[in-house]
């Protein structure tokens, strides 16, 4: 029974990591639509979203079934609780990627516009997502803390992008609709970084059993 | 033991509903900052956020402790899982309210600007939040389905507000910064309606044990 339970937990962890990899791909290709102005990627992103959505439901089901069947305590229960939360953060990252790709499709049809710090924001957010998933896979709290620290950088880049685009819009009224869209994409990327931060916080809780959310002394 | 467990579940439900009421107040007063141009409410909103944040951690702790102690099955386990998810949606609603209030403080210092459909968006989002919490309190799946239906109306109002503000910004460059802020507030309200939709979906799962998220036939 115990051996079976361990195998089931490994299977769950594997599913969550596969879902995470899909979300990484989604972010990667969504951004290609915007930066490379190549709308051909939007179908792939939307297709992956359907996959991510069914994984979302499956993983919740499995986690609840394991809790009901095996009545886990301490560390195993914390892993299952973390799985349920990380599952919901990943699903929302997928939604953000779809938003980015769909806004990108509109932008492909319009004249090129300044992207502000979007390319750097993508790097930071995608890096945070990757590292938060690695931290989950390895139970690595050091890496999780690293991820949490990087969220401030993303917020700074977002504010910079906002300011830059607002100035552009003020100088050139024809850029307003597109400028708005870039600002909304910056918001989407900021949200992805927030979800990666949530995942990192859940990893820390899972490993050391301490809830560090909302604490001033995060690090 | 069973009687104690039932009392503990009632206590948890009560805490979640108190947290929900606080979030309702936060949304209500955050919007007052914007609509009534009265920045005096921002302190209250920020104070409630600190309360909501500690309830967020407490409720998660209690739900996990109850799962570990009582090894609940079926309906009770679904209630506990729903509590963990609703808890996280409420916390994020609190964050959105803080964003609205803080953007509102900036707007109070600037000349008045058109609010588009913001007042109606507030009504819809606040109504959805209230009814999703009532549905949770009473296990009312009919009301939960009602809430889910109303999300489309909120999306429609958001798009209308976007368009109206973009046109204003195109006519009057001095309105760009403020117009952007109204658009971001519309986004915050849309997110609050999304979280209320999540809560309603969790209520349906809790009561009937069926996951209706991502299904085309939601209603």
When pLDDT is averaged across residues B164-184 and rounded to a whole number, the result is 95
Interface test with B, best of A169, A183, A190, A212 (most B CBs within 10 A): A169
Inspect the interface and report whether the beta carbons of B84 and A88 lie closer than 8 Å: no
**Is CATH 2.40.50.140 the classification given to domain A2-208?**
no
Q: The tokens 């909501």 sit on which residue?
A: B52
Q: What is the rounded end-to-end Cα distance, in angstroms, of chain B?
A: 38
- What would the two tokens of residue B54 be? 């500690």
Residue B109 exposed, middle or buried by CB count within 10 Å (0-12, 13-18, 19+)? exposed
For A56-80, how does the pLDDT look when each residue is reduced to its tens digit (9 = 90+)?
999 999 999 999 888 888 889 999 9
Domains of chain A, by residue range, sit at: 2-208
Tokens of B196: 């209320």
pLDDT (mean) for B135-154: 97
Nearest-neighbour CA in chain A from B21: distance (Å):
20
CA distance B178 to A54: 40
Residue A204 pLDDT exceeds 60: yes
Structure tokens, B103: 């953007």
DSSP H helical ranges for A71-117:
74-108
The tens digit of pLDDT for each residue in A41-62 reads 999 999 999 999 999 999 999 9
The arithmetic mean of pLDDT across residues B109-134, rounded, is 97
pLDDT of residue A127: 98
Residue B94, Cα to own-chain centre: how many angstroms?
A: 7
Q: Are A141 and A192 in contact (CB under 8 A)?
A: no
Q: CA torsion, points A97, A101, A106, A109, in degrees to nearest 10?
A: 150
Give the residue on A whose Cα is nearest the Cα of B57. Answer: A211
Of B84, B166, B214, the CB nearest to A180: B166
Dihedral of the alpha carbons of B188, B194, B200, B205, in degrees to the nearest 10: -140
Q: Report which of A123, A114, A121 is spatially closest to residue A188, judged by C-alpha positions.
A: A121
Please tell me the predicted confidence (pLDDT) of residue B214.
80
A170 CA: distance to closest CA in chain B (Å): 5
pLDDT per position as a tens digit, B85-109: 999 999 999 999 999 999 999 999 9
A186 to chain B: nearest residue by CA? Answer: B184
Q: What is the pLDDT of residue A213?
A: 80
**B14-42 mean pLDDT:** 97
Q: Does B61 touch chain A (CB under 8 A)?
A: yes
Q: Is A23 left (phi over 0), alpha (psi -120 to 50) or beta?
A: alpha
B-chain residues within 8 Å CB-CB of A67? 67, 77
Give tens-digit pLDDT for A10-35: 999 999 999 999 999 999 999 999 99
> Does B158 score more than 70 pLDDT?
yes
Question: Taking 90 as the threshold, does the pLDDT of residue B8 lie above it?
Answer: yes
Which one is predicted more confidently, B210 or B4?
A: B4
The Cα–Cα gap between A195 and A94 comes to 11
- Model confidence at A217: pLDDT above 70: no
pLDDT band at A186 (very low <50, low <70, confident <90, very high): very high
Assess whether pLDDT exceeds 70 at residue B40: yes
Spatial separation of the C-alpha atoms in residues A128 and A89, rounded to whole Å: 13
> What's the average model confidence in pLDDT over B189-200?
96
A116-140 pLDDT, tens digit each: 999 999 999 999 999 999 999 999 9
Contact status, residue A148 vs residue A83, Cβ threshold 8 Å? no
Residue A219, pLDDT > 50, answer: no
Q: How far is Cα B60 from Cα B80, in angstroms, rounded to an integer?
A: 9
Q: CA–CA separation, A208 vs B13, rounded Å?
A: 27
Number of cross-chain residue pairs from A and B with Cβ atoms under 8 Å apart = 75
Share of residues in chain B with pLDDT > 90 (%):
89
User: A51, A99, A180, A218: which to substitute to probe chain B, counting the most B Cβ within 10 Å?
Assistant: A180
Is the Cβ pair A166, B187 closer than 8 Å?
no
Q: Determine contact, residues A93/A27, Cβ cutoff 8 Å.
A: yes
Whether residue B84 has pLDDT greater than 70? yes
């Amino acid at each position: 029974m115990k051996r079976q339970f361990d195998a089931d937990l490994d299977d769950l962890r594997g599913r969550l990591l596969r879902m995470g990899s899909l979300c990484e791909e989604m972010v990667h290709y969504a951004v290609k639509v915007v930066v490379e102005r190549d709308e051909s990627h939007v179908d792939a992103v939307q297709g992956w979203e359907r996959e991510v959505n069914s994984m979302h439901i499956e993983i919740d089901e499995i986690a609840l079934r394991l809790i009901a069947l095996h009545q886990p305590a301490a560390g195993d229960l914390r892993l299952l609780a973390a799985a349920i939360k990380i599952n919901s953060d990943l699903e929302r990252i997928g939604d953000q990627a779809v938003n980015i790709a769909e806004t990108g499709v509109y932008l492909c049809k319009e004249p090129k516009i300044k992207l502000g710090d979007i390319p750097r924001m993508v790097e930071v957010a995608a890096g945070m997502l990757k590292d938060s998933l690695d931290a989950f896979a390895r139970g690595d709290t050091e890496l999780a803390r690293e991820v949490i620290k990087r969220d401030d950088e993303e917020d700074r880049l977002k504010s910079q992008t906002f300011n830059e685009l607002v100035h552009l819009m003020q100088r050139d009224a024809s850029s307003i609709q597109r400028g708005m869209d870039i600002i909304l994409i910056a918001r989407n990327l900021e949200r992805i970084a927030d979800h990666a931060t949530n995942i990192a916080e859940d990893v820390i809780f899972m490993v050391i059993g301490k809830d560090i959310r909302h604490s001033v002394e995060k690090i």
